[in-house]
Amino acid sequence: MLQTLLSHSVREVTVNDAALKASTAIFLDAREKREYDVSHLKDAIYVGFNEFTIASIKDIAKDNPVIVYCSVGYRSEKISEKLISADFTNVSNLYGGIFEWVNEGHVVYDLYNQPTDKVHGYNSLWGMWLTEGEKVY
């Protein structure tokens, strides 16, 4: 499904490789706020999709390693393209997004930074790709 959904216009990183980079990379969450509030990757910065602006990440150095994610990788690919256009030099899209992150057994955190099994499924069509965790709509 992702092979045809994504344009593969930016560098992609697997969830396992991203997990290894968690201590050095900055994770940006390109989902909507209601999705982020259910769960997100540890220390991820909410940037959104529809309301995203480069100004919202002005404190991030353009050469910092940045990994952008969403549910499956489509929205994060679009935000990654915007970052690259704004001269960010070390940007990757999390291939499979938070769904693949959870499917591979990695931990997500709630609004209070506590581990949780809950993941916003976006909608019932996209939520079918989340095979682990507890789907929330």
Which residues are catalytically annotated? 70
**3-state DSSP assignment of residue 84:** helix
Give the tokens for residue 18: 């991203």
Give the C-alpha separation, 40 to 111, whole Å: 8
Neighbouring residues of 51: CB distance < 8 A, sequence distance ≥ 6: none
Q: What are phi and psi of 95, to 5 degrees?
A: -70, 120
Contact 14, 103 (CB under 8 A): no
How far is residue 22 CA from its own chain's centroid? 12
Residue 114, classed as helix, strand or coil, is coil
